[in-house]
Amino acid sequence: MNGSLLKALELFEGARRVLVLTGAGMSAESGVPTFRDAQTGLWARYDPRELATPEAYRRNPSRVFGWYASRLMAVRRVSPHVGYDALARLGEMYPGALTVVTQNVDGLHTRAGTRDVIELHGSLEAFRCSGCRDPYPAAGVVQLVEGGGEIAPQPPECSKCGNFIRPGVVWFGEMLPEGVMERAWQAAREADVALVIGTSSMVYPAAELPAIVVGRGGRVIEINPEATPLSPSADLYWQAAAGEALPGLVEALQRRARSRKDGT
């Protein structure tokens, strides 16, 4: 058992509530391109920031809608890696007491079976009307893409108000979804341990969450192959990928729980 794993087990001692914060590095291990690496094929000539603003959508709704539809299709072709599965098992160890807060929009945590997931920046699966905000099924978007080949599809119109359908993600210059940050802050205020995984710890307001945990006496474990601004102040900086560290950590926590239950 390596030193980082032993330290992590020590930090989990007595924990009743757990916060997990994940970023792009978590998704990248499953083969999901990071935001800036997502420019391939039809989209290679565009700056992603030109495709992720309300202004860009108003200028060219087909282009923006098509890019997000293509990202949805790409994400559906990958599977959650073993780190996601480990977090789902960890959630089973802390029923009703583990919250995942993710900056990712790919839905992999939910697909892996984690129950309480707060998606700070929305979801590629959650299209909605740009006017009345009525939800639109992702299955309808998939049908458009599959029927259009390499041509960027024009967004469908809302059956209620006639406005174009848009991706249910947070664009640059937009506020986070109503109530989402409040839920994340509450989870941080209640957490005894925070696992910070695959995030640069530079994107706010998500980067504030570990400090909230520390402020109420909690412990912070950072898992990331590369050091971040959080690393020096974390109780443990575990230099590893999520798929490498999380399965062993959860297995060790499960063994410890079984041993205590058996009285050995």
Query: Which positions are annotated as active-site residues?
Result: 121
Q: Are 203 and 23 in contact (CB under 8 A)?
A: yes
- Phi, psi (degrees; rounded to nearest 5) at 193: -135, 140
Q: Is the peptide bond before 48 cis (omega within 30 degrees of 0)?
A: no
42-71 burial, b at 16+ Cβ within 10 Å, e below that, comes to ebeeeeeeebbeeebbeeebebbbbbbbbb
Helix/strand/coil percentages in the chain, nearest 5:
45, 15, 40
Query: Residues with Cβ < 8 Å from 67, sequence gap 6 or more?
Result: 43, 46, 51, 152
CA-closest candidate to residue 103, choices 26, 163, 158: 26
Burial group, residue 255, by CB count within 10 angstroms (0-12, 13-18, 19+): exposed
